[in-house]
A and B are shown apart, each in its own frame.
Chain A
Amino acid sequence: MKRVVIVGGGTGGTILANNLSGKLRKEIERGQVEIIVLEGSESHIYQPGNIDIAFRGAEPEAFRRPPTKLLRRGVKLLQQPAKHIDLENRAVTFDEKKLNYDYLVVATGSVAAPEAVPGLAEASLIFHRSQEEAMRVWEALSAFKRGRIVILTALPHKCPPSPVEAVFLTDELMRKRGVRQDVEVIYATPYTRAYPAHGIADVVEPEMEKREITVQTLFNIDRVDHQVRRIYSLEGEELAYDLLIAIPPHRGADVVVKSEIGVDEGWIPTDKHTLNIKGHDDAYAIGDATNIPISKSGVVAHLEAVTAAEAIASQIHGISNTYLYNGRINCPLELGGHRAVFVSGTYTRQPEGQKPSLTKYLMKRIFNRLYWTMLSGSLEPIFKMYLGPTYEVK
Chain B
Amino acid sequence: MVRHIVDARGSFCPGPITELIKTYRKAQTGDEIELLATDPAAKSDVAAWAAKSKNEVVEVKDEEGYIKIVIRVLSKGS
List A residues at the B interface (Cβ < 8 Å).
155-156, 160, 190-192, 196-198, 200, 218, 220, 222, 233-236, 264, 272, 293-295, 327, 329, 331, 343, 345, 347-351
Contact = CB atoms under 8 A, between A and B. Distances in A.
Given A198-B41, A264-B26, A293-B7, A218 B53 contact: yes
B10 A272 contact: yes
A347 B77 contact: no
B61 to A, nearest CB: 20
A327 B10 contact: yes
Given A197-B15, A234-B76, A348-B38, A220 B21 contact: yes
A222 B44 CA distance: 23
A386 B44 CA distance: 33
Contact of B13 (A218, A222, A236, A295): A295
A111 to B, nearest CB: 16
Contacts of B44: 192
A29 to B, nearest CB: 40
4 residue pairs, one from A and one from B, having the closest CB atoms = A347-B10, A293-B11, A350-B12, A234-B77
B56 interface: no
A343 to B, nearest CB: 5
B77 A190 contact: no
A295 B49 contact: no
Interface in B16-60: 16-19, 21-22, 24-26, 38-41, 44-45, 48-49, 52-54
B54 to A, nearest CB: 8
Residue of A192, A200, A272, A343 most packed against chain B (CB within 10 A): A192
A236 B18 contact: no
Interface of B: 7-19, 21-22, 24-26, 38-41, 44-45, 48-49, 52-54, 76-78
Nearest to B78: A222
A196 B15 contact: yes
B14 A295 contact: yes
Contacts of B15: 191, 196-197
A200 B8 CA distance: 19
Contacts of A236: 54, 77-78
9 contacts: A192-B45, A196-B18, A197-B12, A220-B77, A264-B26, A293-B18, A294-B11, A329-B13, A350-B39
B13 A343 contact: yes
Nearest to A234: B77
B71 to A, nearest CB: 14
Contacts of B12: 197, 345, 349-351
Nearest to A236: B77
Contact of B17 (A192, A264, A329): A192
A163 to B, nearest CB: 11
Contacts of A218: 48-49, 52-53
Contact of A191 (B17, B26, B76, B77): B17
Contacts of A348: 10, 38
B14 A196 contact: yes
A329 B15 CA distance: 13
Given A198-B41, A293-B10, A294-B11, A156 B22 contact: yes
